[in-house]
Structure 1
Amino acid sequence: MATGTPQPAFVLVRPQMGENIGSAARAMWNFGLDRMRLVAPRDGWPNPSAVAMSSGAGRLLDEAQLSEDIAGAVADCTWVLATTARPRDMTKTVYTPEAAMAETARRIAAGEKVAVLFGPERAGLENEDIAQANAIVSVPVNPAFASLNLAQCVLLCAYEWQRATGEADPVVEALAGTEIAAQHEVDHLARHYEERMEEAGFFFPATKAPAMKLNLRNMWSRMPLTRADVQMLHGMMRQIVRWKDKGAD
């Protein structure tokens, strides 16, 4: 069963290879999309090659809606986007994938039904196909090599849909079970190193010692140290001192 999450339908128009249909299904499911529609797949439907490439997303293929033409595939939709990497001499609003999925999210939240058309592998959507869409999604690719694999294009749009509707933080510090070191822990580490380095005669000549210590303190403060880092650095210094004392014996 399809999820109840409001989302766009991804319509594969005259896809040529079952493998690409399966890869597109996998890409959709990676980002929580499960409304696949197929328009006149070249090798018929169902297609065993699509199942083999779907890698756990076979449910999307089982529930995919099959239509003879684009009109039938998008009959229930209020806004239709057509993807293309080539310039088209047509008067239509052109969106990047990011802007297209943001607008899609806005329209779906308002109760509209949206479909995104993806063309066949050989040359993409024809102008006659695009004429049935309300707007264009143009992927900013290398103009010298504008050809995108069908599943790659699906993945790009699915990813932007997730970005437009998800709650993912743009940056996350993965601390692997530890915590950021408190200031007093970093201060203790700095004093430990200063004392041992003082004993080793590192701060020489004496006239430069204050500036050297200041630079060392500044280095510690710039480093995003965790408690595990601080403990390891303490241990490193202790081992160095033990090794030195052992050598002196």
Structure 2
Amino acid sequence: MAGTDHSVAPIARGPSIVLVEPQLGENIGMVARAMANFGLADLRLVNPRDGWPSDKARAAASRADHVIDAVRLFDTVEAAVADLTYVLATTARPRDSFKPVRGPDEAGQELRSRIEAGQAGGILFGRERFGLSNEEVGLADEIVTFPVDPAFASLNIAQAVLLMSYEWMKSGRGENSRPRFVAPEVAPASKDDLHRLFHHLEDTLDEVGYFYPPEKREVMVANLRTMLTKAGFAEPEVRTLRGVLKSIDRALGEHRS
């Protein structure tokens, strides 16, 4: 489509787009193009199947070179979202999870609200063939799903990114009524801090034999992580909880000795 003005700078700031194990360079390129259409530029890839950089991705991006050039690679989803404080996971099917579920319009508004408040937000998109695993969804704060025809609910990855990018852009338009004053903002914990809390808690619970029987450990860990993610801890709260766990660890060490 004609009409692109390449002299106009991309709109600054917006949610990070995280693609988990994307398979085709062409799909990554179409995602970059969709992002550029709506002012997004932070594209993160977790283990792209065909490696990176990709000539096919650049060709399919249709001159969204600023997005392609800024792509960052990660080995794990945890690493890709470590610096974020609010993460949405996209999924087309119900999950065995107690996480809040939003539609794309509501999710766009929530992203806008948090990012304008200085938080770092992001959206997880899964593999072309089977999406995100339950464990990966468990790393997000909330789920976003699209109101598509249940008889044909499959969206390709570029379509899904396009929809969320559009909702992000749309959320910034129109008059937003704001209260005259608000409560002081407390910085939310980064995902890296939260993941450290997960691992510390799980190690301590292993030490006291909480995960019993052993074959249920994976499900029990997933439930704990869901509860901790839903809490929306601030960074000082995570520090306090880590301090509590360290005290328990010391007491366990003294008891053993």
The TM-score by the shorter chain falls in which range? Answer: 0.5 to 0.7
Query: For 1:19 and 1:99, how far apart are their aligned partners in 2?
Result: 29
Which amino acid in the other structure matches residue 23 of structure 1?
M
Query: For 1:35 and 1:166, how far apart are their aligned partners in 2?
Result: 21
1:97 aligns with 2:112: no
Instruction: Decide whether the 8 Å contact of 2:90 with 2:125 is kept in 1.
Output: yes
| Structure 2 length-normalised TM | 0.63
What are structure 1's unaligned runs of at least 5 residues?
169-249
1:206 is matched with none
1:1-249 equivalences under 5 Å are 5-166=12-173
| Structure 1 length-normalised TM | 0.65
Instruction: Decide whether the 8 Å contact of 1:118 with 1:125 is kept in 2.
Output: yes
Query: For 2:15 and 2:56, how far apart are their aligned partners in 1?
Result: 25
Q: What percentage of aligned pairs have identical amino acids?
A: 53
Which amino acid in the other structure matches residue 86 of structure 2?
W
Instruction: Decide whether the 8 Å contact of 1:11 with 1:37 is kept in 2.
Output: yes
* SS of alignment partner, residue 129 of structure 2: coil
What are structure 2's unaligned runs of at least 5 residues?
1-8, 176-257
Query: Structure 1 residues 87 and 47 mapped into 2: Cα distance closer, same or farther (>3 Å)?
Result: same
Query: For 1:39 and 1:116, how far apart are their aligned partners in 2?
Result: 13
Query: For 1:29 and 1:6, how far apart are their aligned partners in 2?
Result: 12
Aligned-residue offset at 1:4? 7.0
Which amino acid in the other structure matches residue 150 of structure 2?
P
Query: Structure 1 residues 35 and 46 mapped into 2: Cα distance closer, same or farther (>3 Å)?
Result: same
Aligned-residue offset at 1:144? 1.5
Instruction: Decide whether the 8 Å contact of 1:85 with 1:140 is kept in 2.
Output: no
Which amino acid in the other structure matches residue 103 of structure 2?
T
Query: For 1:146 and 1:89, how far apart are their aligned partners in 2?
Result: 19
- Greater C-alpha radius of gyration: 1
Query: For 2:26 and 2:34, how far apart are their aligned partners in 1?
Result: 12
Query: For 2:174 and 2:40, how far apart are their aligned partners in 1?
Result: 16
Paired residues, number? 167
* SS of alignment partner, residue 86 of structure 1: coil
